[in-house]
């Protein structure tokens, strides 16, 4: 029972990788991940072709993927997010088969149903023992939660741990158990610590973001949901994070004891835990060093799997108890459909992550966006790509006020009573068009589909075309 | 998404229990468990019949089962252990279909293969939140590890948590996640704390046990396995536990730093952890209060699932790294086959638990037994039931010396060098027969099979007949 092998090449060979197979990666090392590139380089050297990658996310640190796609080493990609640099290349048509965009919640559900189950999963693990008991909480490349990798370990046919901190058996504080691990490889570095997590996440100072955030917090307060037991998710970007800042003030002033915050966890949510705004954090992914330290030290900072986060086939998930979520958008349309996959030129610059998962689950889904973004109006007649269906969105918050989705009219009365500025989405659209002119329709060069967006119920929500 | 239901009856009805279905229980509340009886009473009242119970173990607190078997409410039983009182009734033929005796390691493997998958699992949980995140570490009925119940949560079609300590969502330090839980029921008491765990396990004072233990420790020392990195499992009974006591002395005197102790964990192994004999405990089940306290407080005291303990289909388990295991026997034969299922009259009084799992895995399997037990010779020509095959047993330790299994002759030279008293198993048998006379063959009254013993590879190892 010897799992420890010399190098990645040996692990690939022992696992029997062949042309046409599917392999899995998780993205907890984010922009600093070396593992995907190291594995793909070995696969390319071995002359293996036609690989499908099922990765929870692809970041711009994975730029070498572009060459592997051009050469046919990689011909398929299943993921919840693609950074703009790799996204641009894919939008220009370098990948043989269309990307399958899933959500973070659907990924484990899909594997449970047998879709894109990795023949081999490669799990970057900041600490592991020689049998594969591993964790992300310790080690020089610590990334905190390994939530998305739980899925790979559980469903992949073969699983390889790649670590740069091999410790004696048994690793007592394991997150993933040896029962699912076939091989363990120790390398010098699994990632660049600076790219894995940022320092402490700081609140934005941009006045537009702050105004949006203030309106969002006001709407949440007016909704009646902000009371003892309150649960909350927010993104890590500008206005979303600032909204958490205003909520913190309100919660501390009023002595509101929330239940939990969910999602990718930042130091800012850690502060809210430590000051008693929440009794727990449910963490599927850490965004900064403060979150990594907290999940290691604080037993109320929970590590949860992707299924526990938002699997729609789970008997419940943390998402299913969620009160409010604050999310961003690159575009939103007059039917409240949200695009987080492409920019306004149609280039892939992101993906759902858990966006549409939590939007569907939360009692109130708040989209925060500035009216204009790089001289484009954010509100469209029709978004270029539906990432999150409008019927799961409650309100849009801009610096000019709040639009309530007509399907969730019940909020309007509450908002009016509390003096929350309400504005019709058509009026917002007109206001933007006054400033920018009516946006030109970007003409599709051809009908080649470069990506399909799969919703959390497994149906195809939209398609993305070659630019 | 409302999982909390009024009572056990409502949970049973909502799960759709029907005649002929299979239901699951775990045995972490041991002799103090109320849950199996409460559930079976409701099932009987509902008039449901022909139920198969798949329980990790059955204890004498489950005596009411006998009536349910007589009345046809329960017609099948899959388990790794049956206490003597229920065992006697089954040996007398009250159950319609033969008991399927599995091992603790095979139970999750069997479910993975689709054998006796519970239609509904009922998990007694000392603490749970309303969505079913639960743990055994806290609450008035705390039992420590919930290792065996991990299997039920993962594989059962429906899973019901029954708790007497309902806490606010989310329970941060959960052992079993809400993703697998359908319903939660809160009752007054899930068990009798006195029956759940004993106080602190004490070493035996019986001179025969102590002599056997001393010999066992001497053999383990002589084997060369007792060095830094040593891993060990022992039972909680008399000589096995005393052997751990002598090992502790040797390890402390020589400054040996072991790796881990495994299995059902007692306070005695906790002491060995705390004094540095081991760096970790891998705990699938706690035997006493000291172990419960330790698993709650000490991060080096690991909670592991039944699969992580000894699932033969797992890619590795704690058992597969095991150096030495010390186990008991009700009978052993001249081919070193061990019986832990029946007494010498053929009555069911126990079961394998993890006996044959760890016997197969460990580098050295030590059976400890007195030469005579209640005036019967322990060594037979042929055991009444093969629980653990002789080819997985290395040595038998009695108060008259140590017999080495001829298939593991390599130990003999080592033992002779270190002055460990070796005695041929035939000579031991003759010595016993001089004291007790040659044992009479108990004649089988009839050929009705009351139980089948399934080995950890899924094959039938032996059958137990009606008495």
pLDDT 10s digits, A424-460: 999 999 999 999 888 776 667 678 999 999 999 999 9
Residue B464 belongs to a domain: no
Contact across the interface for A172 and B305, Cβ inside 8 Å: no
Query: What per-residue confidence (pLDDT) applies to A157?
Result: 98
CB-nearest to B280 from A159, A170, A304 is A170
Query: What per-residue confidence (pLDDT) applies to B443?
Result: 67
Q: What is the distance between the alpha carbons of residues B409 and A326, in angstroms, rounded to a whole number?
A: 69
CB-nearest to B131 from A178, A299, A316 is A316
Query: Domain range holding A21?
Result: 4-196
Whether B127 contacts B134, CB under 8 Å: yes
B90 with B227, same domain: the answer is no
Distance to chain A for B181, nearest Cα, Å: 6
How confident is the model over B364-384, as pLDDT tens digits?
999 999 999 888 899 999 999
Residues 93-152 of A with CB under 8 A from B: 131-132
| DSSP 8-class letter at B180 | G
Residue B154, chain A, CB below 8 Å: the answer is: no
* Confidence band for B199, pLDDT divided at 50, 70 and 90: low
Show residues of chain A in contact with B305, CB under 8 Å.
177, 179
| DSSP 8-class letter at B137 | S
Task: Find all residues with CB under 8 Å of B253, minimum gap 6, and list them.
Answer: none
Size of interface A-B (CB pairs under 8 A): 110
Whether A386 contacts A330, CB under 8 Å: no
Q: What is the distance between the alpha carbons of residues A119 and A24, in angstroms, rounded to a whole number?
A: 8
Mean pLDDT of B201-229: 93
Buried b / exposed e over A280-289, threshold 16 CB at 10 Å, is bbbbbbbbbb
B34 with B160, same domain: the answer is yes
* Confidence band for B161, pLDDT divided at 50, 70 and 90: very high
Which of these three, B196, B227, B257, is where a domain ends?
B196
Contact across the interface for A1 and B182, Cβ inside 8 Å: no
Contact across the interface for A180 and B260, Cβ inside 8 Å: no
Query: What per-residue confidence (pLDDT) applies to A442?
Result: 65
Residue B448 belongs to a domain: no
Residue B116 belongs to a domain: yes
Bridge partners (DSSP) listed for residue B160? B122, B183
Q: What is the distance between the alpha carbons of residues B43 and B59, in angstroms, rounded to a whole number?
A: 19
B61 with B172, same domain: the answer is yes
Contact across the interface for A305 and B180, Cβ inside 8 Å: no
Mean pLDDT of B430-436: 92
Q: Determine the residue among B179, B262, B299, B321 to mutate to test chain A binding: the one whose Cβ has the most chain A Cβ atoms within 10 Å.
A: B179
Show residues of chain A in contact with B175, CB under 8 Å.
none
B422 with B287, same domain: the answer is yes
Whether A284 contacts A306, CB under 8 Å: yes
Query: What per-residue confidence (pLDDT) applies to A195?
Result: 87
Whether A429 contacts A447, CB under 8 Å: no
CB-nearest to A170 from B169, B260, B314 is B260
* Confidence band for B1, pLDDT divided at 50, 70 and 90: low
Contact across the interface for B179 and A316, Cβ inside 8 Å: yes
Pairing between β-strand B460-465 and β-strand B258-265 as defined by DSSP bridges:
unpaired
CB-nearest to B177 from A159, A169, A308 is A308
| DSSP 8-class letter at B198 | B
Closest chain B residue by Cα to residue A230: B169
A51 with A27, same domain: the answer is yes
Query: What per-residue confidence (pLDDT) applies to B374?
Result: 80
Show residues of chain A in contact with B3, CB under 8 Å.
315-316
Contact across the interface for B315 and A159, Cβ inside 8 Å: yes
Q: Determine the residue among B316, B321, B360 to mutate to test chain A binding: the one whose Cβ has the most chain A Cβ atoms within 10 Å.
A: B316
CB-nearest to A170 from B174, B314, B318 is B318
Q: What is the distance between the alpha carbons of residues A170 and B329, in angstroms, rounded to a whole number?
A: 29
How confident is the model over B33-83, as pLDDT tens digits?
999 999 999 999 999 999 999 999 999 999 999 999 999 999 999 999 999
Closest chain A residue by Cα to residue B158: A315
A135 with A255, same domain: the answer is no
How confident is the model over B86-142, as pLDDT tens digits?
999 999 999 999 999 999 999 999 999 999 999 999 999 999 999 999 999 999 999
B136 with B28, same domain: the answer is yes
- Give the angle subtended at the CA of B130 by the CAs of B126 and B132, to the nearest 5°: 60
CB-nearest to B179 from A159, A170, A315 is A315
Residue B397 belongs to a domain: yes
Contact across the interface for A178 and B316, Cβ inside 8 Å: yes
B183 with B221, same domain: the answer is no
Which of these three, B150, B172, B196, is where a domain ends?
B196
CATH of the domain at B351: 3.40.1080.10
Residue B310, chain A, CB below 8 Å: the answer is: no
CB-nearest to B315 from A172, A182, A300 is A182
Provide the domain count of chain A: 2
A23 with A152, same domain: the answer is yes
Closest chain A residue by Cα to residue B109: A179
Query: What per-residue confidence (pLDDT) applies to A392?
Result: 98
Enumerate the H helices of A383-424 as residue ranges: 410-417
A150 with A232, same domain: the answer is no
Contact across the interface for B172 and A308, Cβ inside 8 Å: no
Contact across the interface for A299 and B173, Cβ inside 8 Å: yes
Query: What per-residue confidence (pLDDT) applies to B204?
Result: 80
Whether B63 contacts B85, CB under 8 Å: yes
Q: What is the distance between the alpha carbons of residues B189 and B135, in angstroms, rounded to a whole number?
A: 16
Contact across the interface for A132 and B316, Cβ inside 8 Å: yes
Residue B315, chain A, CB below 8 Å: the answer is: yes
Residue A450 belongs to a domain: no
Query: What per-residue confidence (pLDDT) applies to B195?
Result: 87
Contact across the interface for B279 and A314, Cβ inside 8 Å: no
What kind and span of H or E run contains A4?
A: strand A4-5
Contact across the interface for A315 and B159, Cβ inside 8 Å: yes
Contact across the interface for B173 and A305, Cβ inside 8 Å: no
- The dihedral built from the CA positions of residue B128, B134, B136 and B138, taken in this order, carries a sign that is negative
Show residues of chain B in contact with A318, CB under 8 Å.
170, 178
Distance to chain B for A370, nearest Cα, Å: 34
CB-nearest to A321 from B169, B174, B229 is B169
Q: What is the distance between the alpha carbons of residues B184 and B197, in angstroms, rounded to a whole number?
A: 24
Show residues of chain B in contact with A320, CB under 8 Å.
1
Q: What is the distance between the alpha carbons of residues B269 and A189, in angstroms, rounded to a whole number?
A: 37
Which of these three, B196, B231, B263, is where a domain ends?
B196
Residue A231 belongs to a domain: yes
Q: Determine the residue among A138, A159, A172 to mutate to test chain B binding: the one whose Cβ has the most chain B Cβ atoms within 10 Å.
A: A172
Query: What per-residue confidence (pLDDT) applies to A193?
Result: 81
Burial class (CB in 10 A: 0-12, 13-18, 19+), A350: buried
Mean pLDDT of B339-347: 94
Residue A461 belongs to a domain: no
Q: Does the interface ipTM go beyond 0.90?
A: yes
Q: Give me the residues of chain A with pLDDT under 70, please.
A: 1, 199-201, 441-443, 445
Closest chain B residue by Cα to residue A131: B316
Show residues of chain B in contact with A181, CB under 8 Å.
315-316
Nearest to A361 by CA among A392, A386, A391: A392
B153 with B70, same domain: the answer is yes
Pairing between β-strand B401-404 and β-strand B395-398 as defined by DSSP bridges:
antiparallel
Residue A460 belongs to a domain: no
B171 with B242, same domain: the answer is no
Nearest to B133 by CA among B182, B186, B187, B170: B170
B456 in the Ramachandran plot: left (φ > 0), alpha (ψ -120 to 50) or beta?
alpha
Residue A26, chain B, CB below 8 Å: the answer is: no
**For residue A307, how far is the Cα from the chain centroid?**
14
Residue A304, chain B, CB below 8 Å: the answer is: yes
**Beta strand ranges found along A293-392 (DSSP E):** 301-303, 324-327, 331-333, 338-339, 364-368, 372-373, 376-377, 379-380
CB-nearest to A179 from B180, B279, B311 is B311
**Beta strand ranges found along A355-457 (DSSP E):** 364-368, 372-373, 376-377, 379-380, 395-398, 401-404, 449-454
Closest chain A residue by Cα to residue B278: A170
Residue B11, chain A, CB below 8 Å: the answer is: no
Show residues of chain A in contact with B317, CB under 8 Å.
178-179
């Amino acid at each position: 029972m010897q799992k420890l092998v010399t190098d990645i090449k040996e692990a690939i060979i022992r696992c029997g990788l062949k042309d046409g197979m599917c392999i899995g990666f998780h993205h907890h090392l984010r922009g600093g991940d070396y593992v995907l590139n190291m594995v793909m380089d070995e696969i390319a050297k071995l002359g293996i072709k036609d690989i499908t990658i099922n990765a929870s996310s692809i970041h711009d640190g994975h730029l070498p993927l572009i060459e592997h796609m051009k050469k046919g080493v990689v011909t398929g990609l299943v993921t919840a997010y693609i950074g703009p640099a790799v996204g641009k290349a894919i939008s220009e048509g370098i990948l043989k088969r269309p990307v399958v965009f899933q959500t973070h919640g659907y990924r484990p559900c899909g594997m449970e149903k047998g879709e894109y189950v990795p023949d081999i999963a490669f799990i970057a693990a900041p600490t592991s023992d020689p049998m594969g008991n591993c964790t992300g909480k310790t080690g020089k490349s610590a990334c905190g939660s390994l939530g998305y990798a739980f899925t790979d370990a559980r469903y992949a046919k073969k699983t390889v741990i790649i670590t740069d901190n091999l410790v004696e058996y048994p690793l007592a504080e394991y997150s993933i158990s040896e029962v699912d691990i076939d091989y363990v490889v120790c390398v010098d570095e699994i990632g660049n610590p600076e790219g894995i997590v940022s320092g402490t996440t700081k609140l934005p100072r941009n006045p537009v973001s702050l105004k949006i955030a203030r309106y969002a917090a006001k709407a949440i307060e007016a909704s009646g949901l902000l009371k003892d037991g309150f649960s909350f998710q927010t993104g890590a970007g500008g206005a979303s994070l600032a909204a958490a800042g205003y909520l913190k003030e309100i919660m501390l002033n009023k002595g509101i004891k929330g239940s939990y915050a969910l999602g990718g966890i930042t130091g800012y949510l850690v502060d809210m835990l430590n000051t008693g705004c929440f009794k727990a954090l449910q963490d599927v992914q850490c965004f900064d060093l403060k979150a990594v330290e907290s999940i290691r030290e604080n037993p109320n900072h929970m590590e949860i799997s992707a299924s526990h986060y938002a699997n729609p086939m789970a008997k419940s998930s943390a998402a299913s108890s969620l009160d409010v979520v604050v999310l961003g958008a690159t575009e939103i349309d007059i039917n409240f459909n949200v695009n987080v996959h492409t920019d306004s030129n149609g280039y892939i610059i992101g993906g759902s992550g858990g966006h549409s998962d939590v939007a569907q689950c939360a009692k109130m889904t708040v989209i925060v966006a500035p009216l204009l973004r790089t001289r484009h109006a954010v509100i469209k007649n029709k978004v270029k790509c539906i990432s999150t269906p409008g019927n799961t969105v409650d309100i849009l918050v801009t610096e000019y006020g709040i639009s309530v989705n007509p399907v969730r009219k019940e909020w309007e009365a509450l908002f009016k009573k509390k003096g929350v500025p309400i504005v019709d989405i058509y009026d917002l659209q007109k206001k933007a068009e006054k400033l920018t002119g009516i946006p030109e329709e970007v003409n599709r060069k051809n009908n080649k589909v470069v990506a399909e967006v799969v919703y959390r119920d497994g149906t195809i929500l939209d398609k993305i075309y070659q630019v």
